[in-house]
Amino acid sequence: MSEFTVSGAYVLASCRYPYRSDVVVPRDDSPNRARDKGSSVHGMIANYINSGAVPEDGGPTFDCARAWIDANKKASWVAEPAYAWDPATDAARLLGVDINREYEARGKLPHEVGGSLDVASIEGDTVYVYEFGTGFDIEHKLAQLRLQCLVAARAHRVSMAVGQLVRFRDEGAYPGIPVTFGEFELAAIAGEFAEYLAEVPGSEPTPGEHCKRCNVAPICPVGRALIEQILPASALVKHQWGLEIQSADHAAWLLEQTRLIVAAADQVKNAVRAYVPEGGIKLSDGSMLIEGVRHVPRFDKGKALTLARGLGATEEQIDRCSYMASESSGVRVQKAPKAKVRKPRAA
């Protein structure tokens, strides 16, 4: 069983199966650069907000986060407050600050839901909640932000909450539009998640976009059934699909099978996209299948260079604004060089 916490709101809203008590979640100790970077930046941000501590080399992402925090921080900001929420009574309480997700050790009861916020701030009858992200896609955090706002409002006994997503990258900060939740919206969120949790026992997997953020995905019966349809049976004889890697050859085999699965999934997605007409198509339950479009700000390097040169910046000054960054291009198999065979000289 994957214990539900506030950070799992996105998955729970789409699929209850991972939180069944009889589902054994595989342990994932595999290295993840993006996850490790996000955790590191979050830790530095929390220390900076709560104590003013500045790391010697926080990196460009932290530097951008620090600049945004300096411009927006208020005296009431608290980083990493932790809460426990009771879905049955819709009551919550503060467990502590920066407790490293150790909710049970701080008194969380089995029937309660634990959760931590990046930043909470109380101003009058309103709690302001900030959720930070360092990845390219943080849309999944919207469901998390809704539940965070509810939990914080209940714990601090206020009637209104304002939530905001802020994405930090090496090149800058990208704050989202603040979302306000009044008494009726908060009550609706409470009822929604209480209902989700009540549906967990006996639930079945519901595949979707959320699967890529689910800890149960590698052992999900629906996922396994799809994999068996995509991969030839002969390919499954030598090695086993899963997170436990037995050898270097097993790792290379897993990588190759993953490419097959991703390619097949992309073909299906393209086929569905081509099938859905402009404006969407109605489903049997009355909902709509529609292609979404989102508008995100992009930095135009060409316009920035034109502006800088127009303001008199020299090429040397412009060059000093850039730096070399190392990014992973993904794991791949590099073929061993072939041994050179010397041809015998003619007599």
* 245-293: pLDDT as tens digits: 888 888 887 887 787 677 677 777 877 888 888 888 898 888 888 887 7
Is a pLDDT exceeding 50 seen at residue 322? yes
Q: What is the pLDDT of residues 183-200, one digit of tens each?
A: 999 999 999 999 999 999
Pairwise CA distance, residues 207 & 222, whole Å: 7
3-state secondary structure at position 251: helix
Q: Please give the residue that has the higher pLDDT: either 122 or 300.
A: 122
Question: If pLDDT is split at 50, 70 and 90, which confidence band does 180 have?
Answer: very high
Is a pLDDT exceeding 70 seen at residue 343? no
Q: What is the pLDDT of residue 266?
A: 76
* Contact yes or no for 64/172 (Cβ under 8 A): yes
Is a pLDDT exceeding 90 seen at residue 73? yes
157: which strand partners? none
Q: What is the pLDDT of residue 198?
A: 93
Average pLDDT over residues 161-172: 92
Pairwise CA distance, residues 45 & 62, whole Å: 7
Question: If pLDDT is split at 50, 70 and 90, which confidence band does 39 have?
Answer: confident
What element of type H or E holds 82?
strand 81-86
* Contact yes or no for 311/318 (Cβ under 8 A): no
Question: If pLDDT is split at 50, 70 and 90, which confidence band does 131 have?
Answer: very high
| Mean pLDDT computed over every residue of the chain | 84
Most confidently predicted of 32-41, 173-182, 208-217, 249-258: 173-182
128: which strand partners? 121, 162
Full-model pTM: 0.67
- Three-point CA angle 206, 209, 210, nearest 5°: 70
Q: What is the pLDDT of residue 1?
A: 43
Structure tokens at 323: 């730096």
Please state which of the ranges 75-89, 107-121, 141-155, 262-276 shows the lowest mean pLDDT: 262-276
Most confidently predicted of 53-67, 77-91, 263-277: 77-91
Question: If pLDDT is split at 50, 70 and 90, which confidence band does 30 have?
Answer: low
* Residue 310 vs residues 9, 188, 228, 307, 316: alpha-carbon distances, Å: 48, 53, 59, 5, 15
Q: What is the pLDDT of residue 108?
A: 94
Q: What is the pLDDT of residue 122?
A: 96
